[in-house]
Amino acid sequence: MNRRRFRRATILKKRSVEGAGPNLTPMMDMLVIVLVFLLKSFSVSYVGLKPPADLELPLSTSQEPAARFLAVDIKASGIYLEKDLVQPLAQFQLPGKMERDERLVRLYQVVKNKIEGGQIESTTALIRADRETPFDVIWRVMVTVRQLGFEEFQNLVIQDI
């Protein structure tokens, strides 16, 4: 009789060991949740701002994406806001002598009107300047839009691969 009990107990132990193990259902649930979270947080950003044909952007090795903002283009012929000429230039030369922190009056007025009209809500400006643009011109554009409350600037460049 003892031998039968022992054998029965051994068989029951083997069956319980074969069926034992981690419950994979909760683990699979967690993996699905983590996968969904990673897919939602993954983003591929592309700035759909095609520079004008006569604007040659400098190269960059930065991996940070640019975002959509107020776009100011600086070319040899002038300063453009959304493809409209705002401040004419003669080969990147500003008209007359200007003090270091003096703003560009025409650019200031156009941007101010757009802000007041509700066309611009961001406090970030995207500056696209030709690689031959003197820093003084870029500086004056930055000073001008900063006086209107723009706190961040991004410069668009072509990535050097």
> SS3 sequence, 42-94?
CCCCCCCCCCCCCCCCCEECCCCCCCCCEEEEECCCEEEECCEEEEECECCEC
pLDDT at 67: 46
Residue 60 phi/psi, 5-degree rounding, is -140, 150
Q: Is the model's pTM score more than 0.75? A: no
**Close Cβ partners of 79 (under 8 Å, ≥ 6 residues apart):** 72, 73, 85, 86, 87, 89, 104, 107, 137, 141
Name residues of the chain where pLDDT drops below 50.
66-67
CB 59 within 8 A of CB 157: yes
DSSP state at residue 148:
T
pLDDT at 47: 53
Question: What is the distance between the alpha carbons of residues 23 and 16, in angstroms, rounded to a whole number?
Answer: 14
pLDDT at 66: 47
DSSP state at residue 118:
T
The model's pLDDT over 117-137, given as tens digits with 9 standing for 90+, comes to 887 777 888 888 888 888 888
pLDDT at 148: 87
Report the b/e string of 15-50 with b at 16+ CB within 10 A: eeeeeeeeeeeeeeeeeeeeeeeeeeeeeeeeeeee
